[in-house]
């Protein structure tokens, strides 16, 4: 193993957005790339980086202090497939239908998605015969999108690729992105790209996990390499205004443990919705710009870590079996920060074909298909995919019916 540890690292850096001072509030130590599943027997040279997050004292953007090179995270073999969750697939079908009914009713509209993954959203757009393009650096995901009838470009979305798309396809009425925009440290280039590509009356709409929910649910595992920024309305407004856009709407979403959908337009093109000011007021009262809020968040994470490890060790000491459920990217932080090993959790079940048969990053806990879950059922299942709890528990209801129990660790360690 190679890579950095805490030793000698500064706990301050410059904001990637405004150049202000970013003050570290939490560190999770040496961490692997969250979606870099390993082939058994080929674990040498695994890459590690130091995971710490901080708050910009000027523009309030919460961000990581260290960056993993983008090609190491997002490449041909990036294993995540959005469609693995039926409820997320439904969510994106509704997003697409709403665009078709609202923004995409004019003559020959064009829609672009940044981080289109397996085409889960654009499939509905494609089926409606609307011009579209998905942009995603993962060739594997893009091939899956193409199989669903979606037009995809294997590329990173940034100023140059956006200009090339405009040249070839003309302006976009809608640019959409879900759980991708915040993954990109050089986010200014993405917004410059949006500036190149967006029609004058178009909208840039993006969905991201919402900082207020992360803080409220103590979801420390939402911090990992791919979540370079953790957005709130205030920091997003500051960000988009720097690049000549206006934040015109915000909606709260129940997905992924709490998310927000932001709508951005060229200044004056749309009348801002009252929701923007309402969110800003609520965020001020929640202390989302205050370092003390995040110092408490870090203290909460330590309590969860200690409680979870005590529970897992106690259960194992009593001879109980525990299996992990959902080889999520989030679980990289949970597993490696808490120090969960194969002695406590011998394997993790996951429905994603490209994760099965591999080893979890850092911990090297094996990943098995969902069929392994019931053969036989463990006494306890540690739900790393807690954001999909409803869907997973419904699917696995026989587990609970046969006496099995779920362990959850946000907002506190509890057993159901
Ligand atoms: P996510 O939290 O980043 O969406 O990742 C969810 C992971 O959990 C992904 O690897 C797919 C997996 N999963 C299952 O194995 N079974 C399920 O029922 C669901 C919804 C997800």
- Please give the backbone phi and psi of residue 50, each rounded to the nearest 5 degrees, phi first: -95, 120
| Parallel, antiparallel or unpaired: strands 110-114 and 62-64 | unpaired
pLDDT computed for residue 10 by the predictor: 75
- Strand order of the β-sheet with 367-368 is 367-368, 348-349, 322-325, 380-383, 405-408, 414-415
Compute CA 43 distance to the chain's CA centroid, rounded to the nearest angstrom: 25
Say how far apart CA 187 and CA 16 lie, in whole Å. Answer: 8
Element (H or E) spanning 333, and its range? Answer: helix 330-338
CA quadruple 170, 266, 61, 20: dihedral sign = positive
Residues comprising the chain, all counted: 416
- How many A from CA of 85 to the centre of ligand 1? 6
Tell which residue, 409, 188, 171, 187, has the closest CA to residue 308: 409
Q: How far apart are CA 188 and CA 164, in angstroms?
A: 17
pLDDT of residue 6: 62
Tell whether pTM > 0.80. Answer: yes
**Does residue 3 surpass a pLDDT of 60?**
no
Cα-flanking dihedrals φ and ψ of residue 172, to 5°?
-100, 135
Collapsing DSSP to helix, strand or coil, 128 comes out as: coil
Distance from C-alpha of 333 to C-alpha of 361, rounded to nearest angstrom: 10
pLDDT exceeding 70 applies to what percent of the chain?
A: 98
Nearest atom (ligand 1) to Cα of 80: 10
User: pLDDT value at position 12?
Assistant: 82
Instruction: Give the model confidence (pLDDT) of 76-96 as tens digits.
Output: 999 999 999 999 999 999 999
CA–CA dist 111, 78 (Å, integer): 24
Tokens for 110, please give them: 């064009």
What ipTM, to 2 d.p.? Answer: 0.99
CA distance 389 to 408: 9
**pLDDT higher than 50, residue 1:** no
Residue 388 CA to ligand 1 centre (angstroms): 7
Mean per-residue pLDDT over the chain, rounded: 97
Residue 124 Cα to ligand 1 midpoint, Å, equals: 22
- Report residue 9's pLDDT band, with 50, 70 and 90 as the boundaries: confident
Helix (H/G/I), strand (E/B), else coil: 148: coil
The answer to whether the beta carbons of residues 77 and 238 sit under 8 Å apart is no
Name residues whose C-beta falls within 8 Å of residue 5's C-beta, 6 or more positions apart in sequence.
Answer: 29, 30, 50
Residues 6+ apart with CB under 8 A from 117: 80, 81, 82, 83, 134, 136, 138, 141, 144, 145
Q: Which residue owns the Cα nearest ligand 1 atom 19?
A: 85
Distance CA 164, CA 249 (A): 28
pLDDT tens-digit series, residues 119-178: 999 999 999 999 999 999 999 999 999 999 999 999 999 999 999 999 999 999 999 999
pLDDT digits (tens, 9 = 90+) for 29-56: 999 999 999 999 999 999 999 999 999 9
Which of the four pLDDT bands, split at 50, 70 and 90, describes residue 292? very high
Per-residue pLDDT tens over the stretch 193-252: 999 999 999 999 999 999 999 999 999 999 999 999 999 999 999 999 999 999 999 999
Cα 67 to averaged position of ligand 1 atoms, centre (Å): 25
pLDDT, tens digit, 9 for 90 and up, residues 330-357: 999 999 999 999 999 999 999 999 999 9
Q: CA-CA distances (angstroms) from residue 192 to 90, 112, 361, 363?
A: 31, 15, 34, 39
Ligand 1 centroid to 384 CA: how many Å? Answer: 9
Distance CA(112)–CA(194), nearest Å, equals 10
Ligand 1 center to 385 CA (angstroms): 6
How many of the other CB atoms lie within 10 Å of CB of 402?
Answer: 10
- Which residue of 256, 334, 350, 389 sits with most ligand 1 atoms within 8 Å of its CB, as the best mutation to test the pocket? 350
Q: Which residues of 271-291 are buried (b: 16+ CB within 10 A; e: fewer)?
A: eeeebbeebbeebeeeebbee
Pocket of ligand 1 (CB under 6 A): 84-85, 326-329, 350-352, 355, 385, 387-388, 391-392, 395
Q: State which H helix or E strand residue 60 sits in.
A: none
pLDDT reading at 8 higher than 70: no
Predicted pLDDT of residue 4: 57
The closest residue, in CA terms, to atom 12 on ligand 1 is 326
């Amino acid at each position: 193993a190679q890579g950095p540890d805490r030793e000698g690292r500064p706990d301050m850096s410059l904001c990637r957005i405004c150049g202000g001072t970013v003050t570290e509030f939490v560190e999770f130590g040496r961490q692997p790339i969250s979606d870099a599943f390993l082939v058994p027997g080929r674990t040498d040279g695994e890459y590690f980086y130091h995971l710490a997050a901080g708050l910009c004292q000027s523009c309030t953007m919460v961000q990581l202090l260290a960056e993993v090179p983008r090609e190491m995270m997002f490449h041909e073999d990036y294993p995540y497939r959005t469609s693995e969750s039926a409820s997320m697939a439904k969510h994106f079908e509704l997003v697409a239908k709403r665009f078709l009914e609202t923004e995409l009713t004019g003559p020959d509209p064009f829609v672009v998605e940044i981080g289109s993954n397996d085409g889960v959203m654009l499939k509905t757009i494609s089926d409606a015969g609307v011009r579209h393009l998905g942009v995603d650096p993962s060739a594997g995901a893009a091939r899956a999108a193409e199989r669903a009838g979606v037009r995809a470009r294997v590329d990173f979305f940034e100023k140059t690729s956006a200009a090339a798309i405009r040249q070839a396809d003309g302006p976009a009425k809608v640019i959409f992105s879900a759980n991708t925009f915040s993954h990109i440290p050089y986010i200014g280039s993405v917004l410059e790209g949006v500036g190149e590509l967006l029609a004058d009356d178009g909208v840039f709409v993006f969905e991201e996990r919402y900082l207020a929910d992360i803080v409220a649910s103590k979801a420390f595992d939402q911090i990992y390499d791919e979540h370079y920024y953790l957005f709130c309305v205030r920091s997003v407004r500051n960000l988009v205004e720097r690049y000549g856009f206006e934040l015109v709407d915000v909606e709260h979403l129940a997905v992924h443990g709490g998310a927000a959908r932001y709508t951005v337009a060229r200044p004056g093109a749309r009348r801002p919705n009252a929701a923007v000011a309402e969110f800003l007021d609520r965020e001020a009262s929640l202390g989302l710009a205050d370092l003390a809020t995040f110092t408490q968040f870090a203290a909460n994470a330590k309590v969860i870590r200690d409680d979870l490890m005590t529970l897992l060790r106690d259960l194992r000491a009593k001879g109980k079996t525990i299996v992990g459920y959902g080889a999520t990217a989030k679980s990289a932080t949970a597993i490696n920060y808490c120090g969960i090993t194969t002695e406590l959790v011998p394997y993790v079940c996951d429905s994603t074909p490209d994760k099965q048969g591999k080893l979890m990053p850092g911990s090297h806990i094996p990943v098995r298909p969902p069929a392994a879950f019931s053969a036989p059922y463990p006494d306890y299942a540690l739900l790393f995919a807690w954001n999909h709890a409803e869907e997973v528990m419904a699917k696995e209801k026989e587990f609970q019916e046969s006496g099995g129990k779920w362990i959850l660790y946000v907002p506190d360690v509890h057993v159901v």
